[in-house]
Chain A
Amino acid sequence: MLRYTLRRLLGAIPTLLLVIVLAFLLVHAAPGGPFDDQRVLPAEIEANIAAAYHLDEPLHQQFLRYLGGVVRGDFGPSYSYRDYTVSELIGRSFPISLQLGVLAILLATTIGVMTGIVAALRQNSPLDKVVMGFAMTGISIPVFVIAPVLVLFFAVKLQWLPASWTGSQGSSRLLLPVVSLALPQIAYVARLTRASLIDVLSSDFIRTARAQGLGTATIIRYHALKPAMLPVLSYMGPAVAAVLTGSVVVEEIFGIPGLGQLFVRGSLNRDYTLVLGVVVFYASLIVALNLIVDLLYGAIDPRIRRR
Chain B
Amino acid sequence: MSTLAKAVAHMRSSKTVMMSGGTLCAIALVALIGPWVSPNDYMTTDFDRLLHSPTFNSMSLFGTDDLGRDLFVRTMLGVQVTLVVAIVASVVSLVIGVLYGATAGYVGGRVDAVMMRFVDTLYAMPFIFFVILLLVVFEQNFLLIFVAIGAVNWLDMARIVRGQTLSLREREFVDAARLIGVSTPRIIIRHIAPNLLGVVIVYVTLTIPQAILIESFLSFLGLGIQEPQTSLGNLVSGGVLQIENASWMLLIPATLLAVILLCFNFLGDGMRDVFDARRSR
Chain B, Cβ-Cβ closest to A22: B130
Instruction: Choose, from B36-44, B54-62, B237-245, the stretch at the interface.
Output: B237-245
Is B29's beta carbon under 8 Å from chain A? no
Q: Tally A-B pairs: CB < 8 A.
A: 118
Q: B66-74, B162-170, B191-199, B213-221: which one contacts chain A?
A: B213-221
- Measured between beta carbons, the chain B residues less than 8 angstroms from A15 are 121, 124-125
Q: If A142-B257, A144-B233, A267-B132 touch, does A31 touch B138 (CB 8 Å cutoff)?
A: yes
Give chain A residues whose Cβ lies under 8 Å from the Cβ of B250: 148-149, 152
Q: Which residue of A lies closest to B134 (CB)?
A: A26
Are the CB atoms of A148 and B236 closer together than 8 Å? Answer: yes
Contact A152:B130 (CB < 8 A) given known A140-B258, A142-B213, A275-B136: no
When distances are taken between beta carbons in the complex, the residues of chain B under 8 Å from A278 are 129
Q: Does A236 contact B (CB under 8 A)?
A: no
Among B124, B220, B258, B264, point to the contact of A141 (Cβ < 8 A).
B258
| Contacts A139-B265, A141-B261, A144-B217 given; does A287 touch B124 at CB 8 Å | yes
Tell yes or no: B247 within 8 A of A by CB: yes
Instruction: State how many angstroms separate the Cβ of A7 from the closest Cβ of chain B.
Output: 13
* A143, chain B: closest CB distance, angstroms: 8
A279 touches B130 (CB 8 A): yes
In chain A, positions 91-138 with a C-beta closer than 8 Å to chain B are 136-137
Report if A142-B216 is in contact (Cβ < 8 Å); known contacts: A27-B137, A149-B250, A283-B125: yes
Residue in A137, A156, A276, A287 whose CB lies within 8 Å of B133: A276
Say whether, besides A145-B257, A148-B250, A18 and B136 are in contact (CB < 8 Å).
no
Number of chain B residues close to chain A: CB under 8 A:
41
| Complex interface: chain A residues within 8 A of B138 (CB) | 30-31
Asked, given contacts A136-B265, A140-B209, whether A23 binds B240 with beta carbons under 8 Å apart, the answer is no
Shortest C-beta distance, A39 to chain B (Å), equals 21
Q: In A230-274, which residues have CB < 8 Å from any B CB?
A: 237, 241, 244-245, 248-249, 252-253, 263-264, 267-268, 270, 272
List of A residues within 8 angstroms of B275 by Cβ: none
User: Who on chain A is nearest to B124 by CB?
Assistant: A15
Minimum CB–CB distance from A141 to chain B (whole Å) comes to 5
**Which residues of A lie under 8 Å from residue B132 when comparing CB positions?**
263, 267, 275, 279
A156, B244: Cβ atoms closer than 8 Å:
yes
* A50 part of interface (Cβ distance < 8 Å): no
B236 touches A27 (CB 8 A): no
- Kindly state whether residue B254 has any CB partner on chain A within 8 Å: yes
Assess the A30–B125 pair: CB atoms within 8 A. no
In the complex, what distance in Å separates the CA atom of A144 from the CA atom of B125? Answer: 22
Binary per-residue interface labels of chain A (21-33) against chain B in the complex, 1 for a CB within 8 Å, 0 otherwise: 0110011011100
Q: Which residues of A contact B213 (CB under 8 A)?
A: 142
Chain A contact patch, size range:
35 or more
Q: Give chain A residues whose Cβ lies under 8 Å from the Cβ of B95.
A: none
Task: Tell me if B128 is interfacial: C-beta within 8 Å of chain A.
Answer: yes
Which residue from chain B places its CB closest to the CB of A269 in the assembled complex? B136
Q: Once the chains bind, are B133 and A279 in contact (CB under 8 Å)? A: yes
**A174: Cβ under 8 A from any B Cβ:** no
Whether B25 is near chain A, meaning CB under 8 Å from some CB there, is no
Closest to A18 in B: B121
Q: Which residues of B contact A295 (CB under 8 A)?
A: none
In the complex, B126 has a CB within 8 A of chain A: yes
Complexed CA–CA distance, A145 and B257 (Å)? 8
Q: A140-B261, A275-B136 are in contact. Are A23 and B216 (CB under 8 A)?
A: no
Does B201 touch A at the CB level, under 8 Å? no
Contact B240 A148 (CB under 8 A): yes
Q: Is B202 an interface residue (CB 8 A)?
A: no
List residues of A (4-26) whose CB comes within 8 Å of B's CBs.
12, 14-15, 18-19, 22-23, 26
Whether, in the assembled complex, B87 has its beta carbon less than 8 Å from a beta carbon of chain A, the answer is no
Cβ of B223 within 8 Å of any chain A Cβ, yes or no, is: yes
CA distance A188 to B33 in the complex (A): 36
Q: Which residue of B lies closest to A291 (CB)?
A: B124
A237 to chain B, nearest CB (A): 8
A-B contact sample (19 more), CB < 8 A, given A267-B136, A270-B136, A278-B129: A14-B121, A15-B124, A23-B133, A26-B134, A27-B133, A136-B265, A139-B265, A141-B262, A144-B217, A144-B236, A145-B236, A163-B243, A244-B126, A252-B221, A263-B129, A267-B135, A279-B130, A283-B126, A287-B124
A: which residues have CB within 8 A of B?
12, 14-15, 18-19, 22-23, 26-27, 29-31, 136-137, 139-142, 144-145, 148-149, 151-152, 156, 163, 237, 241, 244-245, 248-249, 252-253, 263-264, 267-268, 270, 272, 275-276, 278-279, 282-283, 286-287, 290
- Which 6 pairs, one residue from A and one from B, show the smallest C-beta to C-beta distance? A140-B261, A140-B262, A30-B137, A145-B254, A15-B124, A141-B258
Chain B residues with CB under 8 Å of chain A are: 121, 124-126, 128-130, 132-138, 209, 213, 216-217, 220-223, 233, 236-237, 239-240, 243-244, 247, 250-251, 254, 257-258, 261-262, 264-266, 269
Would you mind naming 22 contact pairs between A and B with Cβ atoms under 8 Å apart?
Answer: A15-B125, A18-B125, A19-B125, A27-B133, A136-B262, A140-B209, A140-B258, A140-B261, A141-B261, A142-B261, A144-B220, A156-B244, A156-B247, A163-B243, A245-B128, A245-B129, A248-B221, A252-B221, A267-B221, A283-B125, A286-B124, A287-B124
